[in-house]
Amino acid sequence: MPQSEDIHSKMEDVQEKYLEQKERLLGAIDSAKTILSDLRIFNRDSWVVRYPQLRDQSAEESTPVEVSTSKAPKRKSIRRSLSFADDPTFQTDVVLTPARKGMARSMTLASIADETAEEQSNEEDEDRLVAPSDAADFHVFRLDLKLGSHGSSSSPAALVSQLEKASIANLLDDRIGASMNHINKLRQRVEDKSSKVLVTGDLNAGKSTFVNALLKREVMPVDQQPCTTAFCEVHDAADNDGKEELHILKEGIPYSREDESTYTRADLSELESIVSENENVQQMLKVYLRDARSPTESLLSNGIVDISLIDAPGLNRDSMKTTAVFARQEENHFTLSAKEFLWNASNEKAYLFIVVNKYEQIRDKAKCRRLVLEQIKQLSPRTFEDAEDLVHFVDSASAFQKDSQSFENLESSLRSFVLVKRAKSKLTPASTYLTHLLSDVDLLVGANAIVAETELERALEDLNRSRPVLEKMKNGREALDESLEHVEEAGSSRSRMRTKEILNDALVRVGQGKLGVEVSGLNMPSYPGFLGIWEYAREVRKTLLTSVDIAVKLAEDEARKITSTGVDKVFQLGEDHLPEGVERSRRVFMPEAMFSTDKLARKKARRQSGALLAGGVYTLGISLGQRPDMLETTFFDIFDVQHQFRIHFSDKSSEEEDPSLTALSVASVGLGALTMVGGKALGVRGVIEGIVRLTDLLGNQTARKWAAPVLGALTIGAAVYFVLELPSSIPRTVGRRIQATLVKENEERVEDASFVEAHAGRVGRESRKVLRLASWDLRERFRNAMEERGREVRGAEDMERKARKAVEWFREVEQRAGGVRCAVESIAEA
Q: Provide the pLDDT confidence category of residue 808 given band limits of 50, 70 and 90.
A: very high
CB 263 within 8 A of CB 247: yes
Which pLDDT belongs to residue 4? 58
Which pLDDT belongs to residue 161? 45
pLDDT tops 90 at residue 826: no
Please, is 326 exposed, middle or buried when counting C-beta atoms within 10 Å of its C-beta (0-12, 13-18, 19+)? buried
Q: How many residues are present in the chain?
A: 830
68-119 tens-digit pLDDT: 333 334 445 567 777 776 666 677 777 766 555 545 555 565 544 444 444 4
Q: Provide the pLDDT confidence category of residue 520 given band limits of 50, 70 and 90.
A: confident
Cα 821 vs. chain centroid, distance in angstroms? 34
Q: Provide the pLDDT confidence category of residue 625 given band limits of 50, 70 and 90.
A: low
* Confidence (pTM): 0.62
Mean pLDDT of 265-286: 81
List, in sequence order, the alpha helices (H) in 46-109.
59-62
Which pLDDT belongs to residue 573? 93
List, in sequence order, the alpha helices (H) in 225-380.
271-277, 319-328, 338-348, 365-379
pLDDT tops 80 at residue 654: no
pLDDT tops 90 at residue 738: no
Average pLDDT, the chain: 74
310-357 tens-digit pLDDT: 887 776 655 444 444 444 444 433 334 666 777 777 777 777 888 888
430-470 tens-digit pLDDT: 888 998 999 889 888 888 888 899 899 999 999 999 999 99
Mean pLDDT of 777-789: 92
Q: How many CB atoms lie within 10 A of CB 639?
A: 16
Q: How many CB atoms lie within 10 A of CB 715?
A: 12
Alpha carbon distances (Å) from 538 to 313, 734, 735, 741, 744: 145, 9, 12, 15, 20
677-698 tens-digit pLDDT: 333 334 455 556 656 665 665 5
530-551 tens-digit pLDDT: 778 888 888 888 888 888 889 9
Alpha carbon distances (Å) from 574 to 480, 489, 526, 578, 819: 9, 18, 56, 5, 59
149-208 tens-digit pLDDT: 444 444 444 444 445 667 778 888 898 999 999 999 989 888 888 888 888 877 777 888
pLDDT tops 90 at residue 263: yes
Q: How many helices and strands, by DSSP H and E, does the chain display?
A: 22, 13
The Cα 234–Cα 211 span in angstroms is 9
Which pLDDT belongs to residue 342? 73
367-402 tens-digit pLDDT: 888 888 888 888 888 888 888 888 888 888 777 776
> Which residues are 612's β-sheet partners?
589
Report for 15-19, 603-607, 719-723, 790-794: range of highest mean pLDDT: 790-794
CB 56 within 8 A of CB 73: no
